Amino acid sequence: MDQSVARFAELPGIKTAVYTDNTSHIGEMVSYITQLYVDCFKHFGWLKTEIPFYNRVLCGNSGSFAKLVPKDSVLSQLFEYLPEDGSKIAQSPVAFHRHFVILPDFYSVSGLLWINSAQQLFMCLSECSVIRDTVIISPGRYAYLSELLEQYDSLLNPSIEEWTKEKEISYHKVLRDSKLYWGDPFYSHYLKMKILGAIEEVLFTTNTLKEIAINQKFGKYSLLYKTFKRYGIDLAKIPRFSKI
């Protein structure tokens, strides 16, 4: 979400919406992006399907929300991260993303900040939460897998077993540690990360689906389409925000 809201903030259409105070439009898009990722995470098995992770969109000026702070623990925590005035925020939208814990829940808040036409600090943020005890922190000894993931390219190395052998790493250790670190085999997690990269390109660029398939190392569009279908994600329904 951190990376996505940063790209979202740079879209010409969003800057126009900010200048024209079309906040309802921005709120709808922030809500859509959040729900899209939540749905993906549920398809991936990262979130339980019965958990309503997404809560609400907070859209308005900081002055009006300040009145609600004493009664709203999330806003109270959130205001500690907001600038005290608009000196660091321009009229152009700035991406915002924070994690924090308010027991018993873990919260994620993402979206945009800007100075509106009335020179007020305005925000349009999506709020998500999950029970803190359901968040499992994997041991640091498995962090080497993230580096391997960045190096791996299925087009150049179709056999993970051969690839790990060349790197003098135990293939069976990688498989075992991947299940403990990500809850997935190495290749399954690799595919899911490629899907997230492709979703970001679909949302925020004008690249064709063929170009996106190449950029995200699917090789060709048919493999991109099949991978999305495999995880129950309808590629055709994802909007091209960069074209709006």
User: What pTM, to 2 d.p., does this model score?
Assistant: 0.92
Same domain, 36 and 149: no
Residues in the chain, overall count: 244
Same domain, 105 and 158: no
Same domain, 106 and 191: no
The one-letter code for the residue type at 12 is P
Q: Is residue 242 a part of any domain in this protein?
A: no
Domain count for the chain? 2
Q: Is residue 244 a part of any domain in this protein?
A: no
Q: What contacts 102, CB < 8 A, 6 or more positions away? A: 73, 74, 77
3-class DSSP state for residue 54?
strand
Q: At what angle do helices 186-204 and 2-9 cross, to 10 degrees?
A: 20
Taken in order 237, 238, 240, 244, is the CA torsion positive or negative? positive
Same domain, 116 and 15: yes
d(C-alpha 214, C-alpha 3), whole Å: 20
Same domain, 130 and 99: yes
Please state, as a whole number, how many other Cβ atoms lie within 10 Å of the Cβ of residue 157: 15
Same domain, 115 and 66: yes
d(C-alpha 77, C-alpha 11), whole Å: 29
Written as tens digits, the pLDDT of the chain (244 aa) is 899 999 999 999 998 888 888 889 999 999 999 999 999 999 999 998 888 899 999 999 988 999 999 999 999 999 999 876 555 566 689 999 999 999 999 999 999 999 877 788 899 999 999 999 888 888 889 989 999 999 999 999 999 999 999 999 999 999 999 999 999 999 999 999 999 999 999 999 999 999 999 999 999 999 999 999 999 999 999 999 988 7
d(C-alpha 133, C-alpha 181), whole Å: 17
Domain coverage including residue 225:
140-237
